[in-house]
């Protein structure tokens, strides 16, 4: 797994764009203009910030050492996940899916309809 794998996975999702809104190192993926994944393109390790249901966020942090409260994010709803041998690639992608779904769930009905129409 590498950053390009994550990038391709995210861009296959409906309504997703990528950009560098903060600096030249922080790649951000958004669905309908709302962030669901952030990563530093210069980090040696694969590490991403993902939105998460608050209860699940705590469960994941307790289960995995490589899942920590979101770096520079709302620690209640964001996790920083470092990809390692602690969980499978499938589970890592599942965390990305959950982040995307959490953001979509928070969109206005109008935006959800626009997304569904894409």
**Please, are residues 54 and 44 in contact by the beta-carbon 8 Å criterion?**
no
Question: Could you list the pLDDT tens digit for every one of the 118 residues in the chain?
Answer: 999 999 999 999 999 999 999 999 999 999 999 999 999 999 999 999 999 999 999 999 999 999 999 988 999 999 999 998 899 999 999 999 999 999 999 999 999 999 999 9
**pLDDT given at position 45:** 92
Record the pTM: 0.96
**pLDDT given at position 85:** 87
Q: Residue 85 phi/psi, 5° resolution?
A: -80, 5
Distance CA(37)–CA(13), nearest Å, equals: 12
Distance CA(5)–CA(107), nearest Å, equals: 26
Q: Residue 78 phi/psi, 5° resolution?
A: -130, 140
Distance CA(76)–CA(96), nearest Å, equals: 17
């Amino acid at each position: 797994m590498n950053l390009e794998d994550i990038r391709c996975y995210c861009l296959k999702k409906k309504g997703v764009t990528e950009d560098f809104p903060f600096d030249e190192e922080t790649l951000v993926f958004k669905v309908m203009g709302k962030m669901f994944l952030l990563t530093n393109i210069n980090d040696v390790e694969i590490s991403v910030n993902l939105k998460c249901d608050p209860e699940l966020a705590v469960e994941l942090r307790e289960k995995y050492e490589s899942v920590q409260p979101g770096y520079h994010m709302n620690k209640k709803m964001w996790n920083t996940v470092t990809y390692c041998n602690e969980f499978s690639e499938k589970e890592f992608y599942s965390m990305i899916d959950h982040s995307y779904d959490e953001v979509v769930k928070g969109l206005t009905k109008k935006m959800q309809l626009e997304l569904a129409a894409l």
